[in-house]
């Protein structure tokens, strides 16, 4: 429940407030948490994938959006290149990168068994579908590597032969993966049905326990999320891109909203650092 509440709050606040300061804060928080979960090397690889996507998003905004009053230059087709469209494109790119990064962290922390535990009794069919969907991509990638290695041993790998042969080999591997995914989905559904999943009165084993620490963190997440949402509704995070760049003035209240949002974004990293320090201290006393 704590994991779900945190990621729901952070994703909703990230997507609803197109404020440049908030976008930078949430992207920094997502990058820090991704570094803590995956390591710096994996973070650099993910950044290398996200940067071209961000550039394409910003370029599309500049190419097709010509609103704004501050003209920077004129494109060859006669349309203006405005500062407002460029800033909006950069903000949209940062928003996309932040949401993708937070979802990547959510996929690691909020595992399929947690989804089934949370929603198995309320919406059993939907929770099973979400669980299967969340674990589909990592399992699909793992199985793709297995099938590609097996095909490579018989000379039909995706990197063997000429261009047409490589394309054919790739299509064959994709066909094998789709068949495997469909068969695995049917087997999973039959297995859960045979176990009585979704039937009324069915009990379920759980290793999760809602203790005082869970209550404290959940209360903190809700308090910070409500404070930031209230600040956004009150106009402390107001920002407009068109016709000219304009935002709410900086004052004590708006700065406090930014500070609380920053604390919300770095909360999991802070908890991890505190637990690592506590664990190191306990080991030093042994």
Cα–Cα dist 71/252, whole Å: 33
Q: Is pLDDT larger for residue 140 or for residue 6?
A: 6
| 68-83 per-position pLDDT tens digit | 788 888 878 778 888 8
Cα–Cα dist 173/179, whole Å: 10
Residue 284, C-beta contacts closer than 8 angstroms, at least 6 positions apart: none
- Cβ atoms 132, 185 nearer than 8 A: yes
Give me the mean pLDDT over the 171-183 stretch.
Answer: 87
The count of C-alpha atoms lying within 13 angstroms of the C-alpha of 194, restricted to the half-sphere facing its C-beta, is 6
139, pLDDT greater than 90: no
Cα–Cα dist 195/202, whole Å: 9
The helix/strand/coil state of 237 is: coil
Give me the mean pLDDT over the 131-147 stretch.
Answer: 77
Residue 123 DSSP one-character state? S
Cα–Cα dist 157/168, whole Å: 10
The helix/strand/coil state of 169 is: helix
Q: Check residue 221 and give its pLDDT.
A: 93
Cα–Cα dist 167/21, whole Å: 45
| 222-239 per-position pLDDT tens digit | 999 999 999 988 888 888
């Amino acid at each position: 429940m704590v994991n779900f509440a945190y990621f729901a709050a952070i994703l909703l606040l990230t997507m609803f407030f197109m404020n440049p300061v908030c976008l930078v804060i949430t992207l920094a928080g997502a990058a820090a948490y991704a570094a803590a979960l995956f390591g710096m090397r994996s973070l650099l690889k993910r950044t290398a994938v996200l940067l071209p996507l961000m550039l394409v998003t910003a370029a599309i905004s500049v190419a097709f959006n010509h609103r704004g009053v501050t003209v920077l230059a004129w494109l060859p087709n006669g349309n203006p290149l405005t500062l407002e469209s460029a800033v909006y494109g950069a903000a949209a790119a940062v928003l996309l990168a932040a949401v993708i990064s937070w979802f990547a962290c959510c996929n690691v922390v909020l595992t399929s068994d947690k989804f089934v535990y949370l929603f198995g009794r309320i919406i059993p069919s939907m929770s099973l579908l979400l669980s299967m969907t969340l674990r589909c991509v990592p399992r699909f990638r793992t199985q793709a590597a297995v099938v590609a290695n097996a095909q490579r041993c018989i000379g039909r790998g995706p990197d063997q032969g000429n261009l047409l042969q490589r394309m054919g080999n790739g299509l064959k591997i994709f066909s094998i993966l789709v068949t495997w995914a469909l068969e695995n989905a049917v087997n999973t559904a039959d297995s859960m049905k045979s176990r009585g999943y979704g039937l009324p009165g069915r009990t379920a084993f759980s290793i999760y326990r809602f203790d005082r620490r869970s209550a404290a963190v959940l209360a903190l997440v809700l308090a910070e999320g409500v404070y930031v949402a209230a600040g956004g509704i009150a106009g402390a995070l107001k920002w407009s891109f068109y016709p000219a760049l304009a935002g709410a003035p900086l004052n004590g209240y708006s700065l406090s909203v930014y500070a609380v949002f920053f604390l919300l974004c770095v909360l999991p990293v802070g908890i991890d650092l505190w637990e690592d320090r506590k664990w190191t201290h306990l080991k030093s006393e042994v």
